[in-house]
Each structure stands twice: as structure tokens, then as C-alpha cells.
A and B are shown apart, each in its own frame.
Chain A
């Protein structure tokens, strides 16, 4: 029983290709973002129906499918998750042309969402006269939807950067794991929008009995 430690089989090394750290890092960042949005959503839920003056959500929020209205924009945003997934899949298969096509489509859909949100806000601010200071609904709405739009904007900046790098030939199938991390963030932005949409446009928009 005097085996020296050197006689031990060398233990397994952790897979240290760097991308593991990146994956953990992005996952953690998304967890912290969820905590952040969770707080804003909690505040929104807390203040539903507590306004002491209008305009109320029921007066101004338009959930019809009309172009540039929220439902229309949401479809563009959510479907972009499919495009970015197709883009990553193409890249994994080494088809960079298809990657650029799907990736560009993702950027366009995200941009449509932002433009649509801009038109929605313009209508609410100019025609309906709702801004941050109007009432609690205004405070909550612009904070929550605005922070989401801010995250979409940040995502679009990174997506565009990757697109430009890909067009210049600097993104190769070798980088797929790193580019995939960008898509994680984009999926998060889309996923959180489903919750925001339900809270703001469905739950907070119920007809007052």
C-alpha cells in the first residue's frame, strides 16, 4: 500500500477549447438579463389597473394584425429566430452563401420590428398623447417595451457586425461556435418578447369590467 501518486492514472482534463467558457459566459449573461427583465415585468404587473387617469391601455394598444402594428411586428421578430437557426445550420454544413442569406434575413426582420415599434410609439406619443409622465401605464409601458427594443437594437448591432465580417470573408465555418453564441442572445431577445407581449398587450390590456 505504498503506491506513490505518480502511479495514479492521470485524471481526465476538462475540455479546454475556450468555447465552453464562452457558452457558460453567455448563459450566465442571459440569466442576469432574465433577472433584469423579471424585475421590470414584476413592476409592470404590479401597476396594471392602478392608473388614476387615462389614457388606459385599452384605449391605445392596437393588437390587430394590421401592418406595422405590434402583432405584425412580433411575427417578424419571432420568425427571425427561425432564420438565425437556419443560418447557423447552414454554417455548420459549410454553406457560407446560405449563411449570409439567412443571417441578412434575420437582420431585416429585426430591423422591421424596430421600425414598427417606432411607428407604434409615434402614434401613441403624437396621436394618443401617452408618454412616460402621462400616467403609470405610460411609465411602465415605455420602460419595459423600451428596454426590450434597446436589447433588440444591441442585438442588431452585433448581428450586423457579424454580417459585415462575413461579407468581407472574415467569418468562416471554423467560427461557427462563436457565431452560435450570438444566436443564443438573439433567441433570448425573442423569447423574452413573448412574455412581454403577453403581459403588456394581452394581460395588461384586458377589458375593464
Chain B
């Protein structure tokens, strides 16, 4: 055992030694933490970018930003949020939690895991370096300004001078290789490293959902990499893939990008599902309702999500038949998602619900994600989509899904697992204040966007005329941002305060049932002193209630 204990420290560890320990680590917990910390830093950066845009749009005719600066901001905001906030936080939490939940020592390939993290890290720096290096030798351009989906032919050399688009390509390409490698790593881990007794159908649902998520990453990210390479060849080698004058097609980029892009939004939201699926049962004091159906619904979402991408292209003018097919497939996603929704609600019904902060966020997730899902069904309907496509209604819709849904689920997860990671509880009072500020601010901001969208306000305009009647709704949207900033500040305060002053958590503060709560908080480098043995889906329940174990009923 002595080899497993850290050497007794004689005095404080010097800063450089600690830095080296983090930089050279292959430990899934340290890498997971670094992913999440990076994700939160980029969340602040991308949030500030959004704040500047809302300042500019708060009233008609404002001149806070130039049009060019505005274009860069919405591009960087979207790209950062998807690739450098969503992806690292989901990969980071999977990194931290999956090995603990399946009773493993680490991921299947720890060094590959570290490699993936550093690819993500330097990829993100590459994207932000464009603010300094985007001009290149042309002396033109700065950060990318082509939108997060970078439609051709805007991205061709003719229209995007300088190197901004090249940085966009390379940054995401490099990070994407890292994500793909991590997906390989997780699939091998989940299929090959589970502890004794943990058959697939006894696995925590978080591990199941992450498994499906990683399969999606595996089939969706390489097409993006390929499409980006085609674009890079267009820009650097003079190829003609998206050059309409030489017979190339802008439509191909749209198809390739959304073939990645739509699975990507499921890649982002599935971990959100995973968090609330673990949290709701614990705080309802009931087992999850319909475990096999949850698994089936997750797999179904995975399958359907690779066949819906054309719904992003309804206004392009494809054939009515094609539009109708993709309208149908898109609505089909509502079925498994609805199953999950009902399962979560059915888990809560009849439970002894404890509204601690994680559960508050999970409940907020349910309500707001439901609204985003419903507007999603609206948008899947071709005639409705023709009416509001590329308007603020769409912006409102996907923020309800990704902010009201995913970010709330992430906060639920942070409040739920912070005690495990740090050994200390987060402050409940601050957490509840933050929750209500965020709920109010979020709904003001993005609820109002639906209205300005209906009134015809297109997305990505840097300003608008006073006679459009959009001022009030935009002001409302921007005022909501202030409330949100208050909420986020409370979160930062809570995080720092709890890290140093928080109440000691103990191993299992929530009286939970999955394996990560059976080890110490924070877990030792080797995770478990003894390899866990599992007999049911709730191994900790079995340990705590030997007279009435779960395995009798499964």
C-alpha cells in the first residue's frame, strides 16, 4: 500500500512541482478537473462576448461595436460555446465520473486521454490567437467573422481575407481530433473496464448515455474534420470544392457541416440528460423510472440524430419531398426525448423530493428544456421554419435547449459532484439565490427573443432601425443579461468560497447510490482501495441496506 500513498510532504509543495504534477498528469480526475476549469473560463469569455453583443443591440442605432467587430463576436461566441465550453465540460465530467461510476482505476488509455486534453487546450488557444495573428501577411482580418457554421462561400479566400478562417479551421480541427480520441477512449473504458458484476444493464445511466454520446462523437466529428480539410485546401491550395465559379457547391458545405452539426447538439445535450438522470432519483429518493426504456431512448436518439441534419437547410430550396422526409425524422426525435421527459417526471412523482440546489437546477432543466424542445417541434415544421428561419426565434429556441437545458444541467452537476471533487459542500443559500437569478434572467433574455423573432428581427444583424418595433423586446433581452451576470457572479463567489471555506462534505453527503460516493472525497489517486463488486444498479443501496438489497428485485 505504501506505493499508493503520496510521500509525506515536508512543508508546502513548491509551486513549480505542483504545476508539473498537473501538466504531466495522466490521472482522469485531474484531467477532468482541468477540462472543466478550462470550460468555465471559456464560459466567462464567451459570456462576455454575448454581453457586448447585447449591449450593442439593447436599443436601435447603438454604436458600441462596429459591424465587423459584431460579426467576430457572434462567431467567436458560438464557436467557443460549442467547442470550448460544451465539449470540455462534457468530456471533463465524463472523465471524472465514468471511471468512478463503473469502478475502474482510470480510463483505458490514460496517456491518450492526456494527449486529447492538450489537443483541446492548444486548439482553443489557436482559435483565440486569431485575435492577434489573424491578420497574417495580408494585414486584413482579425478573429473569424463567418458565423459558427462558417457557410461557404463566405469562407473562401475571396471573401475572407487574412487568416481568420484558417485559425477557425485549425483550432477546431485540432480540438476535434482530441475529442474523437477521447470518444475512442471512453468506448473502450465503458465496454472493457467495468468492475466485477457490472453488466451493461447494471451500469449507471450516466455511463450508458456517455457511451452513446461517444459513439456519436465518433461518427460526427470526423466528417467535420474532412469538411474543414476541404475548406483548408480551397483556401491554401487553390482547390475548388466550395468555389461556385469553378462548379463547386456551397450546398455541399451546408450538408457536410450539418451532418456534423446536428449530431453535435445531441452530443452536447446528452450529457445534460445524463446529469439529471443521476440527480433526480437521488433527490426524489426513488429509483429511476424505466431504466431499460431510458437506455433504449438514448440509443434511439443517437440513431435518429444522424438522420435529421437537413432541417437546418429548409430555406435553401431543396425538393419538397426531401424537406418532408427530414421534417418527419426531426419530429421523430421528439418520441425518445419525450420518453425521457416522462421518465424523469415519473421518477419525481410520489418521491420524497428534497429541493437542494442540484435538484432545483435539475427541475429548472426539465421546465426550460421542455420549452426549447417544443419550439424545436415548431421549427421542424417546414412552413413554420420558412417563416422564422434565421430569426431571433431560432436563437431563442436553441438557447432554451443549450442554456436553459444544458447549462442548467451542468450547474446541477457542479452542485451535486463538487463535494466529491473538493471534499467540501457548496453554499446552499448562495446556490438558491443564483438559481432564481438565473431562472429569471434567462427567461427574460431568451423568452423576449422569441417575440423579436416573430416580429421579424433577423439574427446576426448588428443594429436595426427604430421604426421596426423591436426596441422594447431587445431592451428586455439585454436587461435580462444583467440579472444573469448577477447570478453568474454569485456562482463564482460560491465556487471560490466553498473551495476554501465550505462545510466538510464527507464521502456521501447526498445519501446517493452510485459507486463514486463509496470512495473518499476527494477520491485517492487510485480511486478505490478494493475493487468494487456490484450486484445491482444501486451498489451503495445494497451496502447500506443489506436487509433489503436491490438485487432481489432486478
Contact = CB atoms under 8 A, between A and B. Distances in A.
B299 interface: no
A101 B201 CA distance: 47
Interface stretch (A11-19, A118-126, A178-186): A11-19
Interface residues of B, number: 51
A50 B247 contact: yes
A5 B184 CA distance: 35
Given A11-B533, A35-B219, A39-B256, A28 B183 contact: yes
A198 interface: no
A22 B192 CA distance: 9
Interface stretch (B131-139, B232-240, B269-277, B362-370): B232-240
B104 to A, nearest CB: 10
Nearest to B253: A43
Q: Which of B109, B225, B233, B239 has the most CB of A within 10 A?
A: B239
Nearest to B194: A14
B218 interface: yes
A83 B511 CA distance: 59
A28 B188 CA distance: 8
Contacts of A35: 218-223
A168 interface: no
Given A5-B546, A139-B241, A46 B219 contact: no
Interface residues of A, number: 44
Contacts of A40: 226, 230
Label chain B's interface by main secondary structure.
helix
B233 A32 contact: no
Given A5-B546, A32-B184, A132-B237, A14 B192 contact: yes
Label chain A's interface by main secondary structure.
helix
B249 interface: yes
Given A25-B109, A35-B222, A43 B252 contact: yes
A31 B551 contact: no
Nearest to A6: B546
B227 A20 contact: no
Nearest to B218: A32
17 contacts: A5-B546, A11-B196, A12-B197, A14-B193, A16-B193, A21-B188, A24-B108, A24-B192, A28-B187, A28-B188, A28-B218, A32-B218, A43-B230, A47-B252, A50-B249, A135-B240, A143-B230
Which 5 A-B pairs rank lowest in CB-CB distance, beginning with the nearest? A11-B197, A133-B238, A139-B239, A39-B226, A36-B222
Interface of B: 108-109, 180, 183-185, 187-189, 191-194, 196-197, 199, 218-223, 225-227, 229-230, 233-234, 237-241, 246-249, 252, 256, 259, 533-535, 542-543, 546-547, 549, 551-552
